[in-house]
Amino acid sequence: MRKLLEKITKTKLFLPFFCLLLVLLINLFKSPSFFRVSVSNGVLYGRIIDILNRGSEIAILAVGQTLAVAVSCGTDISVGSVMSLSACFTCMLLAGFGVHSTTVLQMPMLIGIVAGILMGGLCGAFNGVLVSKLKIQPMIATLILFVAGPAIGLLLCNNQMVYIRYDQYKYLGNFLNIGDWKCPIPTPILVTVLVVAVIAIILRKTSLGLYVQSVGINRRASRLLGINSDKIVFICYVIAGLCAGVAGVVASSRIYSADPNNIGLHFELDSILAVTLGGNSLSGGKFSLTGSIIGAYTIQAINTTLLAMGVSTDQAPVIKAVIVITIVAIQAPVFKQWWAGMKNRRQAEAKELS
Amino acid sequence: MAEKIILTLREIDKSFPGVRALDRAQMTLREGEIHALMGENGAGKSTLIKCLTGVYECDCGEIRMDGTEGTLCIHSTQEAQKKGIVTVYQEVNLCLNLSVAENLFIGREPKTKLGFVDWKAMNRMSEKIMGEHRFNIDVTKMLGDYSLAIQQMVAIARVVDIEAKVLILDEPTSSLDDKEVETLFELMRQLKAKGVSIVFVTHFLDQVYAITDRITVLRNGAFVGEYKTTELPRVKLVAAMLGKDFDDLAAIKPEGESIVGEKVIVKAEGLSHSGTIKPFDFTIHNSEIVGITGLLGSGRSEMVRCIYGADRSQTGKMVFKGKKVKFKAPIDAIKAGMGYLPDDRKADGCINGLSVRENIILALQARRGLSMLPRDKQEILVDQFIELLNIKTASRETPINQLSGGNQQKVILARWLCTKPDFLILDEPTRGIDIGTKTEFQKLMLKLASEGMSVVFISSEIEEMLRTCSRMCVMRDGEKVSEISGQMTQESVMNAIAGGGSNAKTT
């Protein structure tokens, strides 16, 4: 039993998972009904469902961000802006340029959505070329779209919010309705599962994951042993872009509109934070997708908790900062060493006593 | 010789996950002596030094230093430095993107009255320091612009300038040529005269006998013995290191003319890369081992990088296995059937943090593209090479950076052998590895050649190449100046390198 416990605590994902659990437990303590999931109106309700639902965008972004961080030892800070741009592009295509609000779609909804996601991919490709071919520092390269993304979105939307008042457009961000049947699980959760599954399968079944780590650890050596390092970096940024595209469309569907200035606002920070909270190093190399996803939901759990506890939105960031600092500190190598040292000393003392 | 003991290490233990690196190791250092620390790869030399300098904390044991009460407890390199113990490591640990002067004075920059860095004084002092060591270089240029040899000298100059009682040189000569080694020795003698004690770790027996007073031998992390250099014959030293009588070196003397195949594997005409290597021709047959010799920086590595496609050739043409080829990137060369073991293991070879298994299969995997090599096949392959090359590792999933230098090199070699290349380039494969492993490498090369592989072998040790190569290309100043074959002796090769080749036939 003790050995098993030791083995569990030694695994790399233990700490991120432990932190998430801690946040959830605090919730349980504060409001015993926290874990209750009820069905009303044919769909699932509850805090947990809410966290999973609201955390979808961060989780999807975190998947792409993990790869970008791992391969290039830098961060893609444009993902939030790309979200906004993708949302605007989709809405513009569906509503038509310059239309403020529409109930009739200009083209099949699916094409609009796919185009929006591809727009994200295009942005990722732009970042990818800057980082891989021109060897610009990732943060600087992605700063361009970070600034320009929402501005381009505003242009596409003719400087106004664009509303798609079309029922089916709300499905992606809310609940699926097929005929009489209503899916009880919020669609963003399903989308997240899909995205994570696709990326995880690609990483597991192809050698891309190995290449990403290899290039992230030592780009020069990787080239010499036959990996096309530039291509791998490029692919990772395109994936990050596509993920941002998906997240953008989901976010837009939630509010059935495109709001260039608010969709994806500060999401790049949350996605980077998710990667860190997941125990991944921002200096690239080895990575854990699972860790990042746990990190993403930890952030959302904190957000939801603060909201539920009635902390005003103005003060929430302060408390969030305190919690995040605590979690990051617990995972810092220095702290781990100190902890291990403590344990050794205590064991030595126990030995002496006996 | 002063017999005052300045530093003692006793019963030092250090374990890493799965490996016991040091097992009651010890060492005694006297004032003003040059003391060689010898042992095979993985014998624990580097670990012992890292314990002494505070990089690692030893699990138990004691370190006593003259002038301080009780045992020393060294937690960091800064602390060691304060005590007067300074180190120059095997691989250069300086900032390549800073200037030479900045590297020399990092952490102790001269300040102006206002508290700003006094750049002028710093550059002037740096020039003086480097001048003392007879290196007249531009100290304001980036360190990365200089060759590995000069970087090493800067690293030594830096620590020497700090007041040192004990100077530890961890394989400082592995990237220096003979002249530079002599300069270093001169420096060491100066320091010795000043009363500095020097711990000298090297694999070159010649150098040990040229400069050291005493030798401590480690084997498998344990202390074997301490000897006076003058009283210990070479054979005994090697025997102490290996723990067995040693006749291996004699065993691989050239067995007459080695058989060179008929088939031309590589035929390069007029390849060049601007700025690094002038146009050269190169031909190699199957079952042939060709050496490339020359001073450091003479274009040895650049030449093979050009053939391999690591540096794209701007001129000329190349025929590989009868087919005209033009390599745009290393992957093209790998697909055609080449392998390249680079000289800078740390920067170009190892993928630190990835396991031994992943490091071995990477090149084979890269050739396959995105379709993953099945895990069970990987494991069979990896186990096979761990056994074949006798790689000392806790398991196949151990991160490569936990292995000793020679074993890391074996992993990189395994990476190429598992792609079954027809043409293998080995650039300084034996640098910084012990004599036992060196012999293993040489034997392996001969075996591979006898099985039909063409091998290009680059080494700073001419003796090593004489034993294995049937032909040698001589490089000078980025140009291939001649090719020698037939009866080669150390002298004839040296002459050819120096440029007064009497029996070198020019191609």
Contact B491, B468 (CB under 8 A): no
Quickly list DSSP for A20-50: HHHHHHHHHHH-GGGG--EEETTEEESHHHH
Closest C-alpha among B291, B318, B322, B313 to residue B425: B291
Best-predicted range by mean pLDDT among A33-42, B61-70, B141-150? A33-42
Which band of pLDDT confidence, cut at 50, 70 and 90, is reported for residue B175?
Answer: low
pLDDT over 90 for what percent of chain B?
Answer: 24
Contact B484, B503 (CB under 8 A): yes
Which chain A residues are within 8 Å of B353, Cβ to Cβ?
A: 213, 217, 285-286
Nearest Cα of chain A lies from the Cα of B370 at a distance, in angstroms, of 5
Which chain A residues are within 8 Å of B414, Cβ to Cβ?
A: none
Q: What pLDDT was estimated at residue B22?
A: 87
Q: What pLDDT was estimated at residue B332?
A: 92
Which band of pLDDT confidence, cut at 50, 70 and 90, is reported for residue B505?
Answer: very low
Q: Cβ B362–A206 below 8 Å, yes or no?
A: no
Closest C-alpha among A156, A173, A158, A154 to residue A255: A173
Contact B489, B466 (CB under 8 A): yes
| pLDDT above 70 for B255 | no
For residue B414, give Cα distances in angstroms to B100, B114, B349, B364, B444. 37, 57, 12, 10, 12
State whether the Cα torsion A165-A170-A172-A173 is positive or negative. Answer: positive
Q: What pLDDT was estimated at residue B92?
A: 67
Q: What are the φ/ψ torsions at residue B156 (nearest 5 degrees)? A: -70, -45
* A10 and chain B in contact, CB less than 8 A: no
Which chain A residues are within 8 Å of B371, Cβ to Cβ?
A: 206-207
Q: What pLDDT was estimated at residue B246?
A: 45
* Section B185-196 average pLDDT: 83
* B368 and chain A in contact, CB less than 8 A: yes
Encode B314-328: b = buried (16+ Cβ within 10 Å), e = exposed.
eebebebbeeebebe
Nearest Cα of chain B lies from the Cα of A1 at a distance, in angstroms, of 22
* Section B86-105 average pLDDT: 81
Q: Cβ B365–A222 below 8 Å, yes or no?
A: no
Contact A120, A190 (CB under 8 A): no
Torsion of CA B75, B81, B83, B86, to 10 degrees: 110
Q: What pLDDT was estimated at residue B360?
A: 95
Interface of A with B in 314-353 (CB under 8 A): none
Q: What pLDDT was estimated at residue B258?
A: 58
| pLDDT above 50 for B31 | yes
Q: Which helix (H) or strand (E) holds B332?
A: helix B330-336
Helix (H, G, I), strand (E, B) or coil at B297: coil
Q: Cβ B349–A221 below 8 Å, yes or no?
A: yes
Interface probe, candidates A201, A224, A231, A286, chain B, greatest B C-beta count within 10 A: A224
Interface predicted TM-score (ipTM) of this complex, two decimals: 0.85
Least confident of A6-15, A73-82, B396-405, B472-481: A6-15
Q: What pLDDT was estimated at residue B507?
A: 38
Q: Locate tokens 């040790």: which residue?
A: B461
Which band of pLDDT confidence, cut at 50, 70 and 90, is reported for residue B506?
Answer: very low
Q: What pLDDT was estimated at residue A334?
A: 81
Contact B455, B441 (CB under 8 A): no
Quickly list DSSP for A200-217: HHHHHHBSHHHHHHHHHH
Nearest CA in chain B to A227: B366
Which DSSP symbol is given to B349? I
| pLDDT above 70 for B502 | no
Best-predicted range by mean pLDDT among B172-186, B284-298, B398-412? B398-412
* A227 and chain B in contact, CB less than 8 A: yes
Contact A48, A116 (CB under 8 A): no
Nearest CA in chain A to B374: A205
Q: Which of B310, B358, B369 sits opposite A224 (nearest CB)?
A: B310
Please write the tens of the pLDDT for every residue from A285-316. Answer: 899 999 999 999 999 999 888 888 888 888 88
Q: What pLDDT was estimated at residue A311?
A: 86
| pLDDT above 60 for B372 | yes
According to DSSP, the β-strands at B19-30 and A257-258 are unpaired
Q: What pLDDT was estimated at residue B453?
A: 92
* B349 and chain A in contact, CB less than 8 A: yes
Which chain A residues are within 8 Å of B348, Cβ to Cβ?
A: 218, 220-221, 224
Cα(A269)–Cα(A272) distance, rounded to whole angstroms? 5
Cα(A146)–Cα(A127) distance, rounded to whole angstroms? 11
Q: Which residues of chain A have pLDDT under 70?
A: 354
* A133 and chain B in contact, CB less than 8 A: no
